[in-house]
Amino acid sequence: MKIIGAGLAGLLAGNILRKMQPVIIEKANSLPNNHTALLRHRENKIAEATAIHFQKVKVQKAICETVDGKQRITTTPNIIHMNNYSMKVTGGYHNRSIGNLDPVERYIAPPDFIKLLSHGLDIRYGQDFKITKTKSKCPIISTMPMPVIANMVGVKLNFDFEYREITVLSCDIAGVDIDLYQTVYFPSPTTKIYRASITGNRFIIEHIGSNIIPENVQWFKDDYLKDILQYAFGISSNKIYFDNFSLKNNKYGKIKNVNSQERKDFIKYLTDKHNIYSLGRYATWRNILLDDVHNDVFVIKKLIESNGYITR
């Protein structure tokens, strides 16, 4: 078995399907480790499947709205909040998580989750994946984005792949004792920030777009972050400083839904024609959580074992 891509979806599949001795093909020369957006799990099943301990926490949520040019925190979402947020992150109007701000229990993976997932897996770095004209004899699990693999197999789909790039800035909050699990949504179209979260002492700010770095980088790292902490979370201290910065862009950060039946037909075509099984939100081009990817791995396992296919 081959798995294309050593991102979260590929590594998770590699762990769950270890008995099939998968070879993971990765184009980069090292682990991509490119998932820096907020990652919290609704269930503990990934921890159980991978034998990696997750921490159970309670997450508090709120909205930072702009009223008369000033920021105000509320825990009561309304239709305007929901629609503004949806348009901001997807370019359309859909139900989003901002609609429910009740405290929730979540499971948090350790900071070195990706490294732990990769342990013991046969990962071949610096290799390109090429699709042959003949059907592969061994099953292939692809995590490549659907528009990329459609181009590789020469299939023109009857819909456009619409997406929005995101930029994720994350860092540690240091200098004060912080152990919080909180998220604040920003539905206002006047700011590029759409969500800011604290996970333990890790501060994660997610932005729509790619050009968010001002010329004065030091100001960006100090005053910018302290301002968000103060007006969105109410945390202020002259002892606070920030450490362990990470700034990453994700081209397919937010994807827009496409025609469901055509999407499923193409996924089935890849399996029937090339013995390729699509896995992950980009490969199947639908908005899902990593918990859903976990479920899909077991579906693919059954399909491979039965040599059949059920369109998802």
Per-residue model confidence as pLDDT tens digits over 168-226: 989 999 999 999 999 999 999 988 999 999 999 999 999 998 877 665 566 667 788 99
For 115, residues 6+ apart whose C-beta sits below 8 A from its C-beta are: 31, 33
Contacts of 11 (CB under 8 A, 6+ apart): 24, 114, 117, 118, 121
- Tokens 């002259």 locate to 238
What is the structure's pLDDT at 94? 84
Angle between helices 8-16 and 290-306 in degrees, nearest 10: 50
Quote the CA–CA distance of 14 and 24 in Å, as a whole number: 7
Domains in the chain: boundaries: 2-40+110-161+256-306, 55-108+163-254
- Terminal-to-terminal C-alpha distance of the chain: 21
Task: Give the per-residue SS3 of 260-274.
Answer: HHHHHHHHHHHHHHH
What are residue 172's phi and psi, to 5 degrees? Answer: -90, 140
pLDDT confidence band for 32 (50 / 70 / 90)? confident
18-32, 174-188, 216-230, 274-288: range with lowest mean pLDDT: 216-230
pTM of the predicted model as reported, rounded to 2 decimal places: 0.89
Let me know if the fold of 2-40+110-161+256-306 is the same as that of 55-108+163-254: no
Query: Which CATH architecture does the domain made up of 55-108+163-254 adopt?
Result: Alpha-Beta Complex (3.90)
Neighbouring CB atoms inside 10 A of 59's CB total: 19
- Which element (helix H / strand E) includes 159? none
Q: Quickly count helices (H) and strands (E) in the chain.
A: 10, 13
Q: Note the pLDDT tens digit of each residue in 221-267.
A: 778 899 999 999 999 999 999 999 888 888 888 888 888 899 999 99
- CATH homologous superfamily for 2-40+110-161+256-306? NAD(P)-binding Rossmann-like Domain (3.40.50.720)
* Residue of 89, 113, 114, 85 whose CA lies nearest to 101: 85
